[in-house]
Structure 1
Amino acid sequence: MAKNQSYYFSHDINASNDPKIAAMISELGMISYAWWWILIEKLAAADDYKLPLKKYTFVALDNELRMNNEQILTSVQQVFNKNQHVLEQNSMCSFCSFLLIYLLIHDYELLDCDDEYFWSPSLIRRFEFKKVKEETIREKRRLAGLKSAESRKAKKQNLTHVQQNLTHVQQNQLIKEKKIKENNIERDTRAREDENPLSMFDDDEVKNKPIYELYMKSIGVVSPAIKERLDDLVESYGKERVIVAINTSSDNGGNSIKYVETVTAGNLKKEVNKDFGTTKRNSSNRGSSRKDEQVDWQAEYERVHGKK
């Protein structure tokens, strides 16, 4: 068993009043009280708090206790002489420490022994009590640590739940704010369009805006689809022809983009026929009649507009 790792042990403040200690001091002198505590310190540092009944133990103790003084030896032997049979039977009786330990075991009952070791029952009881106390404290600390860990884990989980709930609330709030913003934009757009239907085309090129305004005033609402068809008419026939077509459609009661497209194409056809010369004044000079000839309107449109 490993040696005791403690650096102290309990010591009663009234130890000198113990009857056994008092008897030892009375017979061996006050120096024996110092021997006693030095011996207890040696036992406390030993394995299992026991020292072997060996010659080397008593050689070392004589040196530690400084019991090689003749006067001290005489003092111990005077008490020890009551046990003459021990002197006769034991070869170690020449060691003062052996004589002291024998008296502490048999006369004062402060130590105990068997065939191999000697020890202090009081010292062992104190260390056993200290060991139990330390184990109890360690167990309490372990349980307190587990409880603290569980508490921290619970707090962390609660905090995580709170953060998750807060995140959900924040996300819902952001979604709600986004919807409100979109609804406000849509409402403002509708209000602006109600005041000015042409406001939907504010971001488009300004060059066709008069066409939209004229169509709104003369024909009807300009939807995105109608706007696209008006842009195609302007690109194909020119802005002036589209304006004429819208005015003509309005005068004739036309109320659709289809009507405007038909009028625009018809006006172009008339222009081409007029430019082509339907009077046939030049047909006799060429010796042939163009009465039944078919006109390539696409080619004539490109010729008039300078397209190749």
Structure 2
Amino acid sequence: MLHERANNFNGIPLSVLDLAPIREGSNAEEAFKESVSLAQHVEKLGFNRYWLAEHHNMPGIGSSATSVLIAHIAGNTNYMRVGSGGIMLPNHATIVIAEQFGTLESLFPGRIDLGLGRAPGTDQATAYALRRTLNSGPEEFPMQVNELQDYFSDKPISRVQAVPGRGLDIPIWLLGSSDFSARLAAEKGLYFSFASHFAPRYTVPALKLYRDNFKPSDTLAKPYAMVGVNVIAADTAEEAERLASSQYMQFLDLRRGEARKLQAPIDNMEEVWTPMEKAAVLQSLDPRTTIVGDKDTVRKRLRAFQEETNADEIIIGSQIYDLNDRLRSYEIVAELFD
């Protein structure tokens, strides 16, 4: 499944998670151009896959129409895998997702991943706007995954067929930040990705649950787990900490219920947050999974987390305001490839 051109760190491939950040003073058009630049850059550096995440009603995140943006990124790259990290399945009719990803796989054969989450990726009011009802919810997620697999099967059991989609081999990943998707991925023999970049405390228990209960399937003979990490790297530790303030402010906005675009970095976060707010933000952005620093710091912490989790792959997000700083951050990570 892994592309032969992918390089690796500590024996495993590294990948990229992109939210298509919309910067203060910019717009979605520029965000998408920057995502293409980043994708082309990391493909040359040897990263394995490039995923985009579905979020809604967030002025600083441009990846809401995830399938459309996947097509744009795949069309502007050559061989790197491109996919969703993830599609929030309760927001959609499963046949629509089957058709969208059937179309993507038909356009870019052998390059498309379908990562699925069961959260709405937004607030309740926006979830209602997406679905026009809240009668269905995350508890129906296992049934929706079954429906998707049926649509992709070459022997569908329903009169309704996904065209394109039927008979296509599109890897399905289950994404989670708790034990629910870990159990389901194990039961169904699917790939699993844990959102350790914002739920670090539950990472090791969820991975153990997945591996201990994994049942081989036609899709996967043995468990394959990927973990998420935030990395903000710069040539000096001081500059990396300054760049990280953009992500700190993004999490602070979420805590305060404020909606803003990604803010430019500042020199002193102590002027912005209270001690209680700081503690809450840093609890979510645990130093094990939010790595801020120079190359040596990134190497040590990335290796330590991979060895702690025994992850098969690490996917890296970097909410950095300036594109050039973002490109440089991934260059520093790539300098660690074996």
Report the TM-score when normalising by structure 2: 0.17
Larger-gyration structure (1/2): 1
More strand by share: 2
Q: Which structure is richer in relative contact order (CA contacts within 8 A, separation 6 or more)?
A: 2
More helix by share: 1
